[in-house]
Structure 1
């Protein structure tokens, strides 16, 4: 399954989870104990098989949507730690391609890969801010996607900085 299909499925899941007109921050720990994070609303979780640079994995997306902005954490397990780290650029590039943004929109970091890009989603401008981590054989993508100008920087940073891999 392509990231675009996963993103569409995850967007539908957030609609089913319900939209909150205000931010209602809550602690969330993944069911498998892989991470904890503060979500701005009650999240929904879905798992899909995807291909990340030739590595087939089951990715679990946990997401919540508030006022048109989606806050999401994706997790997957690679066969080993080296592959998990090596797969992060493919995760980042797939999301950039999904919104039609170039690879140059990403900034490379030592422990994590960060991204901030503007592109299009469903024919409308979207902004993507995210961080990609690997810990052991587990890969994580922590992203916020929404309309440019409608993603309060303080909420984006609160979500991203609250993420803790286990």
Structure 2
């Protein structure tokens, strides 16, 4: 009987703990040196790598996390000046589509765009498209690309189905101080 009670108590504690850990645990995140502040639904990992983008070689910095069957990512880079930033921003939008095996021409299709705004930016563009993930499974990407002078920011959600309310919370949480 004592062992049964302990097991039942442990099971109850486990269920209580699971009920207290929400899938989307929103937090404000700003990595050291980042020109962007984001509202992320999970604790992000940080990575960086060199990328060619629109004739520019730059260091891409990224925060990303996975929760609720979705991947949330915020990335940024310094293009140097506004003229190079404009070219790199357009290239980044196309690269976002290529990453999900979608037609890069969708970057210019009004049907794939959504109204985007980020406080502190000169330009913000929304993009949504369907494609395939690396395993060949269907995926939707909802992304925002923004520029402030020579700095570029990309925020995106990847998943089978993206809840509009979650997307609003994520994208509305972006700031370029």
Confirm or deny a common fold (TM above 0.5).
yes
- 1:132 equivalent to 2:145? Answer yes
1:50 Cα shift? 0.4
Q: 3-state DSSP class of the match of 2:92?
A: helix
The answer for the alignment partner of 1:154 in structure 2 is 165
1:113 Cα shift? 1.9
What's the TM-score once normalised by structure 2's chain length?
0.76
Please list every run of 5 or more consecutive structure 1 residues that lacks an aligned counterpart in the other structure. Answer: 1-19
Query: How many correspondences in the alignment?
Result: 145
1:33 Cα shift? 4.1
Q: Residues 61 and 75 of structure 2 are in contact (CA less than 8 Å); yes or no, is this contact kept in structure 1?
A: yes
Divergent runs of 4+, >4 A: none
The answer for the alignment partner of 2:126 in structure 1 is 114
Q: Residues 64 and 71 of structure 2 are in contact (CA less than 8 Å); yes or no, is this contact kept in structure 1?
A: yes
| Structure (1/2) with the larger strand percentage | 1
Please list every run of 5 or more consecutive structure 2 residues that lacks an aligned counterpart in the other structure. Answer: 1-20, 116-121
Query: Quick check: which has more Rg, 1 or 2?
Result: 2
What's the TM-score once normalised by structure 1's chain length?
0.81
